[in-house]
Structure 1
């Protein structure tokens, strides 16, 4: 169980979190000024997780926005006029883009190199700047802390990357996702030359996050009681609010910034304990933390989202990726408390049956079983 020293530390962290000026700080999307020059922005996708934040921020900045997607998801109620073009990149149906020009193209959903190639066939020469959302999963070695944008990328071991489809990707996503994203980056540079910006996020969190990978933690903290916490609480964690990511990409477009950037947060290192106690300060959960070892979790075949043990393992560096270049290029972060508060407000607006079945983490029953096994070691 949590020791007295740990309890004092956690109490101090909780007090510090509630005292942060973050609570009164301006959220990044509020009181947005107009851009110096309005842009014509094409967003491929735009109705998923981060896309709506890009659209909303771009409209507030005075830009003209066009979306291209299949039209399968209902679009939010935008704060201004948004042009909608329909097509399907899986089948190569991009005719709606032909003969049009934009200042900037933001490519949100691409995980397949042929999507970039096909888009370039109609967009090359008709856009000035191409921004591509990639992932930190492109790195060949995720085991070391301090991964920079210059680190080696994961190699593709298949027969023909251009023949890969969404079905083949889903069938072997563990081995294909990173390499195909890396090849999509290479294809973007091949097709669009120097006017390319590559943004590599880690975990994207906040309102509209349907994965529940981060949501599991503040939701569980809010429930209270004895809570299983992986590791000793000192392992670093990284994530970025989808609004911070989306809005920053619009600012990159405005500035014409090119290059490659790790889009991870927070600005300063955060540990697992700090993440949980910060969430506790927001939710008010009456929770007691019990730290269990990584070995115990591995022995019991337990995987928990967001957390990775920093001591060893193929992903040990994923909580310590360098974000120095991104911060230098203007990436800024909402207060952590704002992310948690807004996320939970959004989550509680979902249907009750959706709230009852989280898509990540472990059930309360499974957690109780694990805690009983952990305590039984000393019985």
Structure 2
């Protein structure tokens, strides 16, 4: 099968290419040639800019398109206009950020209300979905991941905890130990996206992590075991972390106060439809181990527009010292 992959050399796209190659598909990559240009010498590379120069795609035909990099509706429209004929199937990687809110409570599914307008990442992703559905109404798969993790992750979110545990010492941890997390290994997501493509499966799917959610304590215990460092975890409840001026999600990645009226339920996506369509998950330990190994090989994540800027070591120490000073007897429980 001839597959056009938009991007394909950074994170999720990279894993999609690897999964498609394992299944012996004929791959063409279209990107600007700026990131990891030496990757995948065995596939066809087309250079261009999807916002301004699609000439290398003019008149070309591909059986399917896998698009992990469209952020605006015009990007889908112009791509389809450039091709010589419509593909048989088009898989668009969107995001759960298209939903209007994530209040605490029941898990949300694909029928949840999406954002309106065309301002902001989530709203533009929603309009991009609509553009594809207009052009190929019966030949598209809309994949809505939540937090994507694993080797080659450029965002620093999940990897923050790998690196922090690997440094050892006293670690500030937000929220309660049983706070649920939801994330998906990019390799599991990539393999499933290729499966959707091969089977021409259409529809809208949340792809946000295992049905049985992992807790923050389980994740960190796994990190400690795999890193083999001397670590002391200091748990602080949501109110205390907020009072310390820590910014949710970016100041301490993977943390959002559970009672937040708009985002408290962010990590509670229902992905039963995706599982019914073949999505599977590897053990968390494998994700942690492989991400830790990669993080040790790469001194810092690649540049990314969504990279987080977590607490500095100095700020973490100051918050922990203040917490310790307030504890009875001056000792942290």
TM-score by length of 2: 0.90
Mapping 1:49-88, distance limit 5 Å: 49-78=11-40, 81-88=42-49
Instruction: Judge conservation of contact 2:70–2:76 (CA < 8 Å) in 1.
Output: yes
Q: In structure 2, what is the Cα distance between the partners aligned to 1:302 and 1:178?
A: 24
Q: 1:155 aligns with which of 92, 113, 116?
A: 116
Distance (whole Å) between structure 2 residues aligned to residue 129 and residue 154 of structure 1: 25
Tell me, what secondary structure is at the counterpart of 1:215?
A: helix
CA distance in 2, matches of 1:285, 1:322: 35
Deviation per CA, 1:113-158, whole angstroms, max 9, x where unpaired?
11111112123843100100001100002114411011010111xx
Query: Which residue is equivalent to 2:81?
Result: 121
Could you tell me whether the CA contact under 8 Å between 1:230 and 1:291 is conserved in 2? yes
Task: Summarize the Cα distance change of 1:152–1:67 in structure 2 as closer, same or farther, 3 Å threshold.
Answer: same
Equivalent in 109, 115, 137 of residue 193 of structure 1: 137
CA shift in 2, pair 1:291/1:367, >3 Å: same
> Which of 259, 262, 272 is residue 314 of structure 1 equivalent to?
262
Structure ranking higher in helix proportion: 1
Unaligned runs of 5+ in 2: 329-333
Q: Secondary structure at the match of 2:120?
A: helix
Query: What SS is found at the alignment partner of 1:316?
Result: coil
Match of 1:373 in 2: 322
Q: Which residue of 2 aligns with 1:350?
A: 298
2:258 paired with 1:296: no
CA–CA separation in structure 2 for the residues paired with 1:275 and 1:352: 21
Let me know the Cα RMSD of the aligned residues. Answer: 1.9
CA distance in structure 1 between the partners assigned to 2:297 and 2:317 by the alignment: 28
Structure 2 match to 1:362: 311
Change (3 A) 1:190 1:338: same
Instruction: Tell me how far apart the structure 1 counterparts of residues 61 and 208 of structure 2 sit (CA, whole Å).
Output: 32
Q: For the residues of structure 1 that align with 2:206 and 2:308, how far apart are their CA atoms?
A: 26
Matches within 5 A, 1:1-379: 39-78=1-40, 81-91=42-52, 93-123=53-83, 125-144=85-104, 145-156=106-117, 161=118, 176-303=120-247, 304-351=252-299, 360-379=309-328
CA contact (8 A) 2:110 2:205 kept: yes
In the superposition, the TM-score normalised over structure 1's length comes to 0.80
Instruction: Check conservation: 2:28, 2:44, Cα contact below 8 A.
Output: yes
Give CA deviations for 1:354-376 in whole Å, capped at 9, x if unaligned: 9xxx9542222111110111222
